[in-house]
Structure 1
């Protein structure tokens, strides 16, 4: 199966770079702050440059493909399912339940999504609509809900300006604007300006993966036993239920076939985004729950994506 072989080769590339980061952490190369430096530099500099470089050369109608409908509704349905299960079985507080819903629906479109889209699906731009959807829609909604449940009030200014503090979203929107200009006028920025941005962007994926490998060193998940059922539920919802919903929506509702169907389901199987832990830390709720949900879904995601590749590629 060429698709499965391609997926395995992609995971091999990704795995080797992650393992390099893990070994570097064990050998204390770069010191105790190496992971933080790589994460921050890739987040604030390289990844925005990469998204700008990719999207600026993508036709605008390819960027906002109708597959975004699948990503939106599959995420919302999975989040709703977790809230229902929490009401029936877990009985978490409102703030922790919101973290659980975000754990279930929020895709790691950057740290894992970009490498998978690049090396397995062959097009890094495929994560752009998901990234824009999450940063411009899901993040403000999630932060509003956390504001209400933890503080009893909403800071409208903080919620409305939240997208302006997201470098990936800013880089993506700048690339989209240039794509629109290029499509309508034929003008594009000179190569001496585009090439350095693209060169910096090319460093994003290896830096992201090595930083993730460093984060695995010394990690001890599932220490809080009371959270284990909810954490496992999050992993199942994220890595199994969400791809199934995405397949049903893409195949039967949207009528997608071939590469588009494959991409919809693979991207739905991405693990939970690390942003969820940042939100939990900001409000000091569900910290271990958020961390364990992200870690378990990240470790199990390759298995499900390999199965998807075997079935659909």
Structure 2
């Protein structure tokens, strides 16, 4: 049952990505279509999805030991990449941010939620990772990208305005307010928000498939060692750190331990490619890391499920 659910989740994602590549191959869509889909996902569909996803999350689990282990795994993986970007590959700040996200930002939404529901038996188990990424990691990363890719005014106030004006951040905060207060949007508002949010994941996956077909070949975006680093950090280092911190330092065991390690082993999220496209930095590294980690995470997650399940 667990193995079948994992395979089904990955097969669904692969099928939609393949459709995007096919549409590009037969010239039904082009690079402009990929950019349009990415923009729709970033500015419209993803914020709506955040409202509905976080609004239904069990935020009580945010203050759990799993959150500590999740945070540690993200910090370690991102820090290792940033050290390499600074001292080895000499990357600029925007490219470094995209590389760090590629190394540590997991697909907790469209893959993590179904795996948590069908493999772990409780979709709320992915909530700590989901909220950490959407309310802390993503806003900080987007603020830095905003700051270093356009002429932005200086000062803390300007930085706060950049964060507050980001549509994904706004959607995430609204979802958190709904979850904390127990309020629900009126049906006349919730129905269209849900409908638009349902467009987010397909748009991301189709745009990604188009980019795979029309973009440079695998590994053409930079040093192979850099791609190998982001892939290894995501697939091996991040779940290993999560396991060490959760089990050996915090005493987490059973389903809770399985949840934090499996979540850490999820592949890089497709929305990192959307961010890379939006800011015009690090697209190839994000694209290739997503591809390799999506393929490589299948055996990794199956092994974790067998060992800890």
Sort the TM-score into its range (normalised by shorter chain): 0.7 to 0.9
Change (3 A) 1:196 1:218: closer
How does the TM-score come out when normalised to structure 1? 0.78
Partner of 2:48: 49
Equivalent position of 2:120 in the other structure: none
2:115 aligned to 117, 120, 132, which one?
120
Q: Pick from 179, 187, 192: which aligns with 1:196?
A: 192
Superposed, 1:89-168 pairs within 5 Å as 91-93=88-90, 95=92, 98-99=96-97, 102-103=100-101, 105-108=103-106, 112-122=107-117, 123=123, 126=127, 127-140=130-143, 156-168=156-168
Which blocks of at least 5 consecutive residues in structure 1 are unaligned? none
CA contact (8 A) 2:55 2:176 kept: yes
Relative to structure 1, is the Cα distance of residues 95 and 39 closer, same or farther in structure 2, using a 3 angstrom cutoff? closer
Match of 2:263 in 1: 267
Displacement over 6 Å in runs of 4+: 141-144
Which residue does the alignment assign to 2:201?
205
Task: Show CA shifts across 1:124-165 (max 9, x none).
Answer: 863233221212345546777x69xxx9x9654443333223
- Give 1:241 deviation, angstroms: 0.8
Q: How far 1:298 sits from its partner (Å)?
A: 4.3
Give me the CA root mean square deviation. 3.5
What 5-or-longer segments of structure 2 have no aligned partner?
A: 118-122
Instruction: Kindly indicate whether residue 218 of structure 2 is the aligned counterpart of residue 221 of structure 1.
Output: yes
Mapping 1:1-313, distance limit 5 Å: 2-62=1-61, 65-84=64-83, 91-93=88-90, 95=92, 98-99=96-97, 102-103=100-101, 105-108=103-106, 112-122=107-117, 123=123, 126=127, 127-140=130-143, 156-182=156-182, 187-219=183-215, 220-223=217-220, 227-273=223-269, 275=272, 278=275, 282=279, 289=285, 292-313=288-309
